[in-house]
């Protein structure tokens, strides 16, 4: 009798466990299904963003070619003039560019980033290395090979972006990360430590985040009109603040900003960060 009861109990428990597992599996499948539906319903938005990134990187290749030509021609002043505007195309599309961990640092690493990784100056490459030559050493001599490698890396990045799978999560996370970059390295002036062209990067990061918001705005308005309106107002406020620092050539040197100026910009960025992360409701 005990054997019969044990057998029955075992069969009951096994059935219960299987039912439980079945329930868990069903929930998992349901959640995956919901995510797939959400992504499919936003396919127009993800495709729009991928096209935006491709367009930006097309221009990045073109402007980098001009920059590299100036460097190789030994034209320091022309290279300085082209440096910051060219980089803006990269900064706007960084959420996708950062998908390629090896290329991003080769194009955009600061010397401090290299040193943090335990590498030496000889392993440094990209825009910021040439920035050092232009603004600190006042020359392009010795940077020709770095310029050639930069252009090759930029072209490789553009080619690889064709393979990226853009998801709503990549876009939303990317928008928040762009503002985080502004509030850490851009607002402190440590990104463009030699040229002090940080405001170009600042503006481009904001434009990149705003583009993602604009793409999602219609769907966001359906979910939360107040949030969409708040974000629109916050972007407008931040852009108005940045416009104060424009000059005929783009933006003033970051060195011209006072502590009060940077504090005001920092607060405007902070007001955007948290609401921007709430855009995730578009995939719910």
Q: Which CATH class is domain 167-284?
A: mainly alpha
Residue 106 pLDDT greater than 60, yes or no: yes
CB 43 within 8 Å of CB 166: no
Specify the pTM. Answer: 0.84
Q: List the domain boundaries for the chain.
A: 46-165, 167-284
Residue 2 pLDDT greater than 70, yes or no: no
pLDDT in tens, 164-217: 999 999 999 999 999 988 888 788 888 999 999 999 999 999 999 999 999 999
Let me know how long the chain is.
284
pLDDT band, very low/low/confident/very high, at 282 (cuts 50, 70, 90): confident
Please state which CATH number belongs to domain 46-165: 1.20.1420.20
* Within this chain, domains 46-165 and 167-284 share the same CATH topology: yes
Task: List helix spans (H) across the chain.
Answer: 2-41, 43-72, 76-92, 94-97, 103-108, 111-116, 127-132, 144-161, 168-181, 198-223, 225-243, 259-277
Concatenate the DSSP letters of all residues of 186-239 into one string: ITTT-TTTTT--HHHHHHHHHHHHHHHHHHHHHHHHHH-HHHHHHHHHHHHHHH
pLDDT in tens, 234-264: 999 999 999 999 998 899 999 999 999 999 9
């Amino acid at each position: 009798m005990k054997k019969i009861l044990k057998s029955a109990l075992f069969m009951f428990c096994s059935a219960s466990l299987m039912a439980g597992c079945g329930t868990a599996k069903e929930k998992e499948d349901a959640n995956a299904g919901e995510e797939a539906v959400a992504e499919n319903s936003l396919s127009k938005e993800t495709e729009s963003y991928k096209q935006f990134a491709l367009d930006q990187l097309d221009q990045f290749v073109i402007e980098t070619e001009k920059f590299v030509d100036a460097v190789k021609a030994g034209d320091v002043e022309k290279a300085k003039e082209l440096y910051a505007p060219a980089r803006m195309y990269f900064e706007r599309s960084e959420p996708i560019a950062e998908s390629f961990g090896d290329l991003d640092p080769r194009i955009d690493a600061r010397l401090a980033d290299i040193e943090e990784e335990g590498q030496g100056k000889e392993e440094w490459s990209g825009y910021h290395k040439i920035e050092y030559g232009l603004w600190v050493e006042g020359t392009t001599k010795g940077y020709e090979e770095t310029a050639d490698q930069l252009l090759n890396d930029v072209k490789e990045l553009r080619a690889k972006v064709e393979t990226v799978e853009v998801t709503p999560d990549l876009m939303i996370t990317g928008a928040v990360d762009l503002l985080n970059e502004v509030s850490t390295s851009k607002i402190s002036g440590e990104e463009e430590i030699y040229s002090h062209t940080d405001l170009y990067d600042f503006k481009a990061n904001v434009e990149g985040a705003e583009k993602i918001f604009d793409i999602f705005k219609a769907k966001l308005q359906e979910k939360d009109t107040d949030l969409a309106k708040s974000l629109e107002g916050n972007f407008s406020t931040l852009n108005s603040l940045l416009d104060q620092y424009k000059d005929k050539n783009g933006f003033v040197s970051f060195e011209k900003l006072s502590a009060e100026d940077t504090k005001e910009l920092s607060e405007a960025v902070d007001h955007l960060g948290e609401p921007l992360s709430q855009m995730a409701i578009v995939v719910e």
